[in-house]
Chain A
Amino acid sequence: MADINEKKPFKKNPLSMQMDLSRFTLATEDEKQSVDVMRPPSTFWRDGFKNFRKNKMAMVSVVVIVLIILAIIILPSFIPYTYSETIRVDGQRDRTVTNLKPYEWSEKEQEYIDNGGELFPHVMGTDQLGRDYFIRVIIGTRISLIVGFFASIIVLVIGLIYGSISGFIGGKVDLVMMRIVDIIYSLPDTLMIILLSFVLKETIGKQIQGTILSKIGTGMISMFIVFGLLYWVSMARLIRGQILSIKENEFVLAANAMGASTSRTIRKHILPNTISVIIISTALQIPSAIFTESFLSFLGLGVAVPMPSLGSLASEARQGLQAYPFKLLYPAVIISLIVLALNLIGDGLRDAFDPKLRK
C-alpha cells in the first residue's frame, strides 16, 4: 500500500493546521497583481541596446574605434610634419633622414638639437623617402576609414533605392530587376575592380592630374565606381525582402480595415527589424571595403602616391622588411585593429538585435 499512498500525502485534518480563517477570504485584484510579477515592458531598441552593452568585446571595440577616430582628428594638429614632404632640417635637405627608427634622429637633426634647436620626435621613425612615418600612418588611417565609410554609404544608398523600387512596384519590373541582381551577384567583384582600376588609370589618369581627383587616385575612384556598380546587390535584396513583408502585412490588415494597426505593426515590428538589419549590414561592409582598398593599394592600384593608405604603407614596407620590420607592423596592427573592432561591433549588433536570442 505504501506505493499508492506515496503520491497522495497523508490526509490532514484541516482544522489541525492552525489556519487563520481570515486568510480564506477572497483575494482582491490588486493583491493578485502585486504577486503577478511581470517583466518591465521594453521596446525593441531598449532591449537591443541593453543586450549590446552586455557584450564586453563589442563595447571595448566601440571605445577603440572612437579613440582611433579622435586620434586621427586631433593628433595631426600637433605634428609639424606633413605626409608628403620630405623632412628638411633648418630649411635644408637632409639625406640622412631616411629610414630612421622610432625616436631616432638623423645626423643633421642631431646637430640641430645639439645646437639648441627643438624638433618634434619621429614617433614612428621615417620612411625611405625621408617623410615622417607617424603622420603618414595617421593620414593613411584617415584615408582608409573615409574610403571604407563612403563605400558603405554608396552601397547602402544604391541598395536601398534599388531594393525599395523593386519591392514596391513588384510584378514584372521586380522580376527583371531581380534577374539583373542575380547576374551582377555572380560577377567576380575583385577581378572587376582590378580591371577597372587599371583601365581608369590608363584612360583618365593623365587627364585629371593636378585636380583633387588625382590626389585620391584612380584606384580609389574606380573602387567607388565598382562598389556603386556591384556591391549593393546584397543590400538591395535585403531591403526588397523587408518591403515585401510590409506589403504582405498591409494586405492582411487592410482586410481587417484597421487603419491604425497597419502603421503600428510596421512601426513596431518591421521597421526596427529593417533598420537593425541595415545597420548591421553596413557595419560589416566597412571592414570589407577597407580590405578591398588595402588589397588594391598593395597591388599598386590604390591611392596615388604620395597619398598614403594603410594598404599602400604595408606594401611599401615590404622593401627593407628585414631591416625595418616596424614599418609593416604599424599599419598592419592598426588596420587589423580597426577591422577587428568593426567586426566585433557588427557581430555584437547582430547578436543583440537577433529576435531569436531575445528572451
Chain B
Amino acid sequence: MAEVILQVKDLHTSFFTDAGEVKAVNGVSFDLEKGKVLGIVGESGSGKSVTAYSIMRILSFPGEVVGGEVLFKGTDLLKISDKEMREYRGESISIIFQDPMTSLNPVYTIGNQIDEAIRLHTDRKGEEIRQRSIELLHLVGINDPARRVKQYPHELSGGMRQRVMIAMALACEPDILIADEPTTALDVTIQAQILELIADLQAQLGMAVIIITHDLGVIADMCDEIIVMYAGSVCERGNTDDIFYSPKHEYTKNLLRSIPKAQKSNERLVPIAGNPIDLLNLPEGCAFAPRCRAAMKICLTEHPEELEISETQSAACWVNVRDQIMAETEQGGDRA
C-alpha cells in the first residue's frame, strides 16, 4: 500500500470581512500518497487555492482556518506553532503561484531569491549555496544559468520566471509540491512546456504534486486522482477516466459540456447558466442547485453527502442517490 503523506480532514476556512463571514472552504477532505499527482479542479471562488493556502498556512488577512486537520506524516500542521510551520514551508511542502511576474521580488536578483530558500533550510554555506542555485536553474531548463542567476525578474520572460519559481520551490527537495494555477498566466505555447517540466521533475524527484487549476485540459494527462470543487466543497473525486468519461456530479458534467472538445466539433457549447456563487450567503442545500438543470427539491434543502460510486470514484450529488433508489426499487420490484 502506498504511503499516505498528507491527509486533509474536513477542512473549513473562512474570511472574516466587513461584509460578513465568507466561507471559502467547507469541509474538504482528501489523502495524498507519496509520489502521486493530485489535481484539484474548480472555477474561481471554488476554494481550491484557499485549500492550498490553508494547508501551508499562508492565508492572508482576514482568512482563518476554522476547523479540520491537516496531517503531514502524522503531524497536524494546523496545531503547530508558526515557528515550527516555517520549517515545513519550502522544505517539506513547497508552492508555486499563478503569476510569476508578481510572485518574485522585483528588487532582488533571482539568484538572491533562490539562495534564500537554500540558506533557510539546508546547511550549505557560502559558495555552495550559489552553486546549488545554478544547479537548480539548470535542472528547470534555463540556459546559461551562471549568467541568469545574477539577473532581475523583469529581465526574464514569463515562462522563464515560472521556471525560476519552480527552481526555488524545489531547492530543498520537498515531499510535496503544490502548483497553484501554474500555467494560467502564461502563453499557450509555454503552458505545455511548464506542465511537461513539472511532470518530468515529479518523475525525477519522486515528489507528490498537487495541481490546482480551473482548466480541465491541463490535468487530463498528468493526474492520478482528480478532485472537483465547487463553493468550497468537494463535488466529486476519481481518477482521470472516472471524471472525464463517467462523471457523476452535475457540476462536473456541466464543466465537461462547456469546454470545447476537439472531437465533437458539431456539438453546441453549453455554458453553465445562472450566477456565480455568493460565498457570503451559501444556500442550505447543494450549492450548485440553483444553476443545475437536474436539480430536485431535495437538492435545495439538503446538502448532499459524498457517497462512494466505485472503488476509485465518489460524488456528492442527490442524482446518484435517486438513481440508486430507482435501481434498487426496480430490483425489489422484479423480485416481487
A–B contact (CB under 8 angstroms): yes
**A33 to chain B: closest residue by CB:** B290
Mask, A8-27, CB within 8 Å of B = 1, is 11111111010101111111
A-B contact count (CB 8 A): 94
Complex partner residue of B308 from A3, A8, A17, CB under 8 angstroms:
A8
Given A36-B283, A37-B283, the answer on whether A14 and B297 have CB atoms closer than 8 Å is no
Complex contact A6–B283 (CB within 8 A): no
Segment 263-298 of B: residues with Cβ below 8 Å from A: 274-275, 278, 281, 283-285, 289-291, 294-298
Given A23-B296, A24-B297, the answer on whether A15 and B325 have CB atoms closer than 8 Å is yes
The answer to the question of A257 belonging to the interface, with a C-beta cut-off of 8 Å to chain B, is no
The answer to the question of B29 belonging to the interface, with a C-beta cut-off of 8 Å to chain A, is yes
A19 to chain B, nearest CB (A): 7
Q: Chain A contacts of B289 at CB under 8 A?
A: 27, 32, 35
A54 to chain B, nearest CB (A): 9
Mask, B4-36, CB within 8 Å of A = 1, is 100101000000011100000000011100000
Complex partner residue of A3 from B4, B290, B294, B328, CB under 8 angstroms:
B4
Complex partner residue of A35 from B9, B18, B300, CB under 8 angstroms:
B300
Q: Chain B contacts of A26 at CB under 8 A?
A: 294-297
Alpha-carbon distance A6/B284, docked complex (angstroms):
24
Q: Chain B contacts of A35 at CB under 8 A?
A: 283-285, 289-290, 300
**A20 to chain B: closest residue by CB:** B298
Main secondary structure of the interface of B (DSSP, over half): mixed
Complex contact B17–A359 (CB within 8 A): yes
Mask, B294-318, CB within 8 Å of A = 1, is 1111111010011110000010001
Q: Chain A contacts of B290 at CB under 8 A?
A: 32-33, 35-36
A91 to chain B, nearest CB (A): 65
Complex contact B306–A31 (CB within 8 A): no
Q: Chain B contacts of A10 at CB under 8 A?
A: 308
Q: Chain A contacts of B296 at CB under 8 A?
A: 23-27
Q: Chain A contacts of B318 at CB under 8 A?
A: 24
Complex contact B328–A27 (CB within 8 A): no
The answer to the question of A38 belonging to the interface, with a C-beta cut-off of 8 Å to chain B, is yes
Q: Chain B contacts of A19 at CB under 8 A?
A: 298, 321, 325
Segment 304-334 of A: residues with Cβ below 8 Å from B: none
Alpha-carbon distance A19/B296, docked complex (angstroms):
13
Complex contact B325–A38 (CB within 8 A): no
Alpha-carbon distance A281/B306, docked complex (angstroms):
55
Mask, A92-129, CB within 8 Å of B = 1, is 00000000000000000000000000000000000000
The answer to the question of B322 belonging to the interface, with a C-beta cut-off of 8 Å to chain A, is yes
**B9 to chain A: closest residue by CB:** A6
A172 to chain B, nearest CB (A): 33
Q: Chain B contacts of A23 at CB under 8 A?
A: 296-298, 302
Chain B residues near A (Cβ < 8 Å) = 1, 4, 7, 9, 17-19, 29-31, 237, 274-275, 278, 281, 283-285, 289-291, 294-300, 302, 305-308, 314, 318, 321-322, 324-325, 328-329
Would you mind naming 21 contact pairs between A and B with Cβ atoms under 8 Å apart? A6-B9, A9-B307, A9-B314, A10-B308, A11-B308, A13-B328, A14-B321, A15-B325, A15-B328, A23-B297, A24-B298, A25-B296, A26-B297, A27-B296, A31-B300, A32-B289, A32-B290, A33-B290, A35-B284, A38-B275, A38-B278
